């Protein structure tokens, strides 16, 4: 069978062997739980509880404040200790609700009640997804109810479940595919029930044969669902690339997947949809891979949102030696942490601790225009020219040569023999361009 | 850089074997002057000295391979100084020069010291290069040209040795096929159409093997710094090179035109890149994925 893929991309060291055979382990938090109000793209949620209030498992404590926003639910029962600015994974301070765990885990009424999605209307399903605070759990955190509410339901041709997990070291989606494969199928069926003309695809990279086999067996019984085997390549799991590899359609930065007739959801997200609709459970936990050569016993842990990162390290047996770099998420697009005192959010996929930080040692030399960045760019861009435009302070040129189409996957920086920090420069340039646009609009 | 130097070892060794010690001295003079000039310039300008990036070494080697073996001792030195100081460092050093330094220096020497630059001796006998002979209507034995038993510059004479080096670069993916293949292909077509000999295989092969075309196509036109970075740009660049070399050889005043063609095309690179910025992913039609 021909393995679907795209042009460009790279093959970084994958490091998945550290944790890929470690079954998921359900763990409960020890310390206080911290819930940032901004765990998603869009407007932060608005706190609807006050200090001193008693909250229950599954209770909405932060309410979506606009169309693109998401609810935040408590993952434990206990007392609201504080509502204040706390440090989050991004390195910025953000408004957080702090809950003191009473270790009773008393749930809200109706929590965990089984439901049949076939008896629900489309509106009810969408409302349930919205209430449950589901966002893209692969990392971007786009509110899922917005994703599954396109302009016209009948124009959706493909519902894609993103099981690529192309980031090195990450194995949380892989474990979910093995251990909760039925939930993925059922979650996909729920989404498919919204779009009568759509075909369901579960797209998985070919370095996960067990996951492919497990889901293929289940999909065989389903008329509308098929498993698509993709070539292992980074960044296969990015939304634009997985759409192209799965159904041959291309979208750019100005389009949503629904503009190309596609709905894309991550593995963890599709399971969250199943949990919300069929089992009345909002997003209160997620699988986090704790790994890296500085970690004693790498593994995959099902933890409650709001759990402190420090507890994750304890779960994995602590550090074998002092890590030089700790990353939240994968090594390609994750964010480096300078403290472990940040909470797990809906989008935390991994904690990666490395003994050595090769990036810090790298010394930048002159660009000799070797063109490797051009070959590696999955978006068909010319990073060398974009960098030149930035160096000349020419952001118009940066935009003209499609700089805004960059989604910061890091492939160019990875292959650059001169160790030029391309992605970092593009990130800053894109932000500046967007800020300028906003300023121009407000004038 | 190291890979390109490795790839040039067969051709250099053949040059020394064919032309003797004088070739070796020329190569050494070029390399030492180039590296030394770069080092001194960087020290004087209080820039970071970068002898270990091997770029000056490579420039020296390439220049030497473009010189006749028995040149006076001062010629390689003047050439290397020109290459490093004027063509490279003045423009900002590695990655900033718009013209291949070795070729820039070669053309400078060709114009300034025409006699010394076009005196080719083989086995102690001064003679014309195969291309010069072709112009007069006589041909050289093709086997001699392929293996390198002819007069010419140190590095250009053995097509076989150059192809071995080129294969190494292609296999290691240091260079892509685009520029050399388009260059040689378009040049061959040009010669067939306008060379005046039609499809004469002997004439065509002599044109392809002679005049440093192989050296230029695989080792100098593919110079990262002075060739386009976009895939489409590289194809256009190769075609322009082929056509220019054809024009210079067929209609021009001198027998060979590779150096001039590459330098001239180097000047077109910014323009070529400007018009060949690729379409970003997803900017075309949506539903059929084009």
pTM metric for this prediction: 0.88
- Provide mean pLDDT across the span A67-74: 94
Prior bond to B270 cis, omega within 30? no
Tens digit of pLDDT for each residue in B134-169?
777 777 788 888 888 888 899 988 999 999 999 999
Is B280–A380 a contact, with Cβ atoms under 8 angstroms apart? yes
- For chain B, the distance separating the N- and C-terminal CA atoms, rounded to the nearest angstrom, is 37
Q: What is the mean pLDDT of chain A?
A: 93
Is B289–A402 a contact, with Cβ atoms under 8 angstroms apart? no
For chain B, the C-alpha Rg in angstroms (whole number) is: 19
User: pLDDT at position B81, please?
Assistant: 97
User: pLDDT at position B285, please?
Assistant: 53
The interface predicted TM-score (ipTM) is 0.87
Among A248, A379, A382, the residue with its CB nearest the CB of B229 is: A382
Q: List the 227-266 stretch of A: residues with Cβ below 8 A of B.
A: 240, 244, 248-253, 255, 259-261
Which uninterrupted H or E stretch holds A64? Answer: none
**Cα–Cα distance measured from residue B281 to residue A330, given in angstroms and rounded to the nearest whole number:** 24
Which uninterrupted H or E stretch holds A304? Answer: strand A299-304
Strands A325-328 and A350-354: antiparallel
**Cα–Cα distance measured from residue A279 to residue A275, given in angstroms and rounded to the nearest whole number:** 5
Strands A262-266 and A158-163: parallel
- Structural contact between residues B150 and B144, judged by C-beta atoms closer than 8 angstroms: yes
DSSP reduced 3-state for A70 = coil
Query: For residue A247, what is the nearest residue in chain B, using CA coordinates?
Result: B289
Tokens of A97: 């609700």
User: pLDDT at position B290, please?
Assistant: 45
Tens digit of pLDDT for each residue in B7-22?
999 999 999 999 999 9
**Cα–Cα distance measured from residue A140 to residue A142, given in angstroms and rounded to the nearest whole number:** 6
A397 reaches B (C-beta below 8 A): no
For chain A, the C-alpha Rg in angstroms (whole number) is: 21
**Cα–Cα distance measured from residue A299 to residue A319, given in angstroms and rounded to the nearest whole number:** 13
Q: Phi first, then psi: give them for residue B209, nearest 5 degrees.
A: -80, -20
Query: For residue A384, what is the nearest residue in chain B, using CA coordinates?
Result: B229
User: pLDDT at position A1, please?
Assistant: 46
Helix axes B101-112, B55-65, angle to 10 degrees: 40
Q: What percent of chain A has pLDDT over 90?
A: 87
Spatial strand order in the sheet of A33-36:
A33-36, A93-101, A78-87, A54-55
A379 reaches B (C-beta below 8 A): yes
Tokens of A302: 């099902």
- Provide mean pLDDT across the span A86-101: 92
Is A382–B224 a contact, with Cβ atoms under 8 angstroms apart? no
User: pLDDT at position A443, please?
Assistant: 79
Residue ranges of E strands in A116-180: 158-163
Under DSSP, the state recorded for A107 is: B
In this prediction, residue B255 has a pLDDT band, given cuts at 50, 70 and 90, of low
Is A259–B286 a contact, with Cβ atoms under 8 angstroms apart? yes
Tens digit of pLDDT for each residue in B84-107?
999 999 999 999 999 999 999 999
User: pLDDT at position A2, please?
Assistant: 57
| Cα A39 to Cα A96, A121, A306, distances in angstroms | 10, 28, 11
- Structural contact between residues A346 and A137, judged by C-beta atoms closer than 8 angstroms: yes
Tokens of A347: 């989008």
- Provide mean pLDDT across the span B41-50: 92
**Cα–Cα distance measured from residue B142 to residue A402, given in angstroms and rounded to the nearest whole number:** 50
Sign of CA dihedral A379, B236, B211, B37: negative
Is A260–B286 a contact, with Cβ atoms under 8 angstroms apart? yes
Is B282–A374 a contact, with Cβ atoms under 8 angstroms apart? no
């Amino acid at each position: 069978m021909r393995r679907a893929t795209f042009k460009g991309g790279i093959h970084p060291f994958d490091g998945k062997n550290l944790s890929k055979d470690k079954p998921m382990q359900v763990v409960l938090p020890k310390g206080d739980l911290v819930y940032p109000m901004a765990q998603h793209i869009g407007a932060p949620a608005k706190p609807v509880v006050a200090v001193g209030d008693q909250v229950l498992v599954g209770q909405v404590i932060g309410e979506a404040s606009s169309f693109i926003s998401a609810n935040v639910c408590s993952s434990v029962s206990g007392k609201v200790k504080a509502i204040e600015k706390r440090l989050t994974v991004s390195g910025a301070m953000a408004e957080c609700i702090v809950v003191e765990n009473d270790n009773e885990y008393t749930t809200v009424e109706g929590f965990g009640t089984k439901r049949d999605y076939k008896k629900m209307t489309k509106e009810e399903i969408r409302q349930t997804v919205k209430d449950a605070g589901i966002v893209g759990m692969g990392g971007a955190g786009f509110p899922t109810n917005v994703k599954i509410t396109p302009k016209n339901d009948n124009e959706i041709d493909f519902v894609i479940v993103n099981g690529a997990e192309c980031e090195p070291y990450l194995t949380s989606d892989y474990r979910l595919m093995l251990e909760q494969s039925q939930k993925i199928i059922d979650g996909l069926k729920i989404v498919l029930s919204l779009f009568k003309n759509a075909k369901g695809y579960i797209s998985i990279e070919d370095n996960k044969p067990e996951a492919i086999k497990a889901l293929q067996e289940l999909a065989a019984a389903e008329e509308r669902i098929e498993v698509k085997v993709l070539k292992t390549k980074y960044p296969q799991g990015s939304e634009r690339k997985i759409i192209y590899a799965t159904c041959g359609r291309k979208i750019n930065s100005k389009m949503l997947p629904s503009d190309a007739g596609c709905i894309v959801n991550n593995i963890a997200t599709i399971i969250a949809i199943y949990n919300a609709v069929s089992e009345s459970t909002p997003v209160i936990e997620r699988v986090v891979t704790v790994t890296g050569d500085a970690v004693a016993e790498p593994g995959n842990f099902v933890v409650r949102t709001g759990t402190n990162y420090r507890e994750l390290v304890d779960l994995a047996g602590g550090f074998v030696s002092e890590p030089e770099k700790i990353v939240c998420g994968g090594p390609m697009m994750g964010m480096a942490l300078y403290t472990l005192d940040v909470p797990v959010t809906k989008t935390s996929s991994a904690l990666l601790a490395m003994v050595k930080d090769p990036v810090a040692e790298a010394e930048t030399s002159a660009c000799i225009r070797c063109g490797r960045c051009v070959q590696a760019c999955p978006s068909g861009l010319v990073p060398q020219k974009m960098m030149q435009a930035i160096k000349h302070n020419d952001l118009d040129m940066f935009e003209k040569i499609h700089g805004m189409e960059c989604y910061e996957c890091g492939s160019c920086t990875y292959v650059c023999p001169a160790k030029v920090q391309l992605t970092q420069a593009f990130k800053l340039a894109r932000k500046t361009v967007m800020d300028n646009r906003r300023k121009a609009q407000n004038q | 850089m190291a890979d390109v130097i490795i790839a040039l070892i067969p051709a250099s060794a053949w040059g020394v074997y064919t032309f003797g010690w004088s070739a070796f001295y020329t190569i050494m003079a070029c390399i030492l002057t180039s590296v030394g000039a770069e080092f001194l310039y960087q020290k004087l300008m209080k820039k970071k000295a970068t002898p270990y990036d091997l770029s000056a070494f490579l420039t020296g080697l390439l220049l030497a391979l473009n010189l006749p073996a028995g040149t006076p001792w001062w010629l390689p030195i003047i050439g290397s100084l020109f290459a490093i100081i004027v063509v490279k460092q003045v423009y900002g050093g590695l990655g900033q020069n718009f013209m291949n330094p070795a070729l820039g220096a070669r053309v400078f020497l060709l114009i300034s010291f025409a006699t010394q630059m076009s005196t080719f001796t083989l086995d102690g006998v001064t003679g014309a290069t195969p291309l010069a002979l072709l112009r007069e209507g006589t041909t050289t034995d093709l086997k001699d040209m392929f293996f390198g038993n002819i007069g010419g510059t140190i590095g250009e004479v053995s097509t076989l040795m150059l192809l071995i080096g080129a294969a190494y670069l292609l296999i290691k993916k240091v260079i892509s096929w685009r520029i050399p293949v388009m260059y040689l292909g378009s040049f061959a077509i040009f010669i067939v159409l306008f060379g005046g000999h039609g499809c004469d295989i002997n004439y065509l092969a002599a044109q392809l093997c002679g005049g440093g075309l192989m050296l230029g196509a695989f080792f100098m036109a593919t110079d990262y710094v002075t060739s386009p970075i976009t895939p489409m740009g590289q194809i256009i660049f190769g075609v322009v090179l082929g056509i220019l070399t054809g024009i210079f050889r067929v209609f021009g005043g001198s027998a060979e035109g590779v150096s001039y063609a590459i330098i001239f095309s180097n000047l077109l690179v910014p323009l070529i890149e400007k018009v060949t910025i690729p379409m970003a992913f997803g900017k075309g039609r949506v539903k059929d994925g084009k």
